[in-house]
A and B are shown apart, each in its own frame.
Chain A
Amino acid sequence: DTEVTQTPKHLVMGMTNKKSLKCEQHMGHRAMYWYKQKAKKPPELMFVYSYEKLSINESVPSRFSPECPNSSLLNLHLHALQPEDSALYLCASAFRDRERNTIYFGEGSWLTVV
């Protein structure tokens, strides 16, 4: 089973709202990622968690706040977003070793900021 589950699939929020995107995997992966993908563009890395600790923040604005409550869950808290933040948000996970190094992606959460 190579499943990364993301909820919700679609989210519409106003610029003053607070919402969260959720991601779950039960493959024993210890690296988890958030990527942002705009239309007709490749995914762009936002955050990497390694062993539940934030290891990479790609200079993402503070209106995006990641959280990794445990080794299976990854959240992305959203607050005071702008319309240009509308995009597909992809969660991904991977083992943290060279032998099992494939990154698996979820189906994504489509975010629209109005």
Chain B
Amino acid sequence: AQSVTQLGSHVSVSEGALVLLRCNYSSSVPPYLFWYVQYPNQGLQLLLKYTTGATLVKGINGFEAEFKKSETSFHLTKPSAHMSDAAEYFCAVSRMDSSYKLIFGSGTRLLVRP
């Protein structure tokens, strides 16, 4: 079975500070990993994804994530937070087998202080 754990339901940073959102996964097969962002009253937007190949993945809006198999982690980072980054962030895992299911973590709300 696959699962995703996001550490910290809320993360608060100052504008210009480093953003670090944590995600750990559990999977019996090589996972496909995703980060989605949800702004208030909107749908989900893909930030970035890892499937195979390079373990450091760059996404939109200056975000990146590193796949670490030994730590079963896929943490999301951004060097400098902007007020517009305030949103809910979801880490998700998929086997992309016949079920093509996407399993979400519980989410982390990012608050950016001026």
Instruction: Verify A102–B105 contact, CB threshold 8 A.
Output: no
Q: How far is the CB of B23 from chain A (nearest CB, A)?
A: 12
Which residues does chain B contribute within 8 Å of A50, judged by CB atoms? 100
**Which B residue sits closest to A96, measured CB to CB?**
B100
Which residues does chain A contribute within 8 Å of B90, judged by CB atoms? 42-43
Among B44, B45, B51, B100, contact of A43 (Cβ-Cβ < 8 Å): B44
Whether a CB of chain A sits under 8 angstroms from the CB of B7 is: no
Which residues of B does A touch, CB under 8 Å?
Answer: 32, 34, 36, 41-46, 49, 51, 90, 94, 96, 98-102, 104-107
Interface string of A77-104 (1 = CB under 8 A from B): 0000000000000101010101001111
Whether a CB of chain B sits under 8 angstroms from the CB of A34 is: no
Instruction: Verify A106–B94 contact, CB threshold 8 A.
Output: no
Ordered by A's residue number, 17 sampled pairs between the chains whose C-beta atoms are within 8 Å are A42-B104, A42-B106, A42-B107, A43-B90, A43-B104, A48-B99, A55-B99, A90-B44, A94-B100, A98-B96, A101-B94, A101-B96, A103-B34, A103-B94, A105-B36, A105-B43, A108-B42
Instruction: Verify A45–B101 contact, CB threshold 8 A.
Output: yes
Total CB contacts across the A-B interface at under 8 A: 55
Which residues does chain A contribute within 8 Å of B94, judged by CB atoms? 101, 103
Which residues does chain B contribute within 8 Å of A48, judged by CB atoms? 99-101
Instruction: Verify A102–B34 contact, CB threshold 8 A.
Output: yes
Whether a CB of chain B sits under 8 angstroms from the CB of A12 is: no
Which residues does chain A contribute within 8 Å of B49, judged by CB atoms? 102
Interface string of A19-48 (1 = CB under 8 A from B): 000000000000101000000111101001
Apart from A48-B100, A92-B44, A105-B44, list 4 A-B contacts with CB within 8 A. A31-B100, A45-B101, A96-B100, A101-B94
Whether a CB of chain B sits under 8 angstroms from the CB of A107 is: yes
Determine the distance from Cα of A45 to Cα of B92 in the docked complex, in whole angstroms: 12
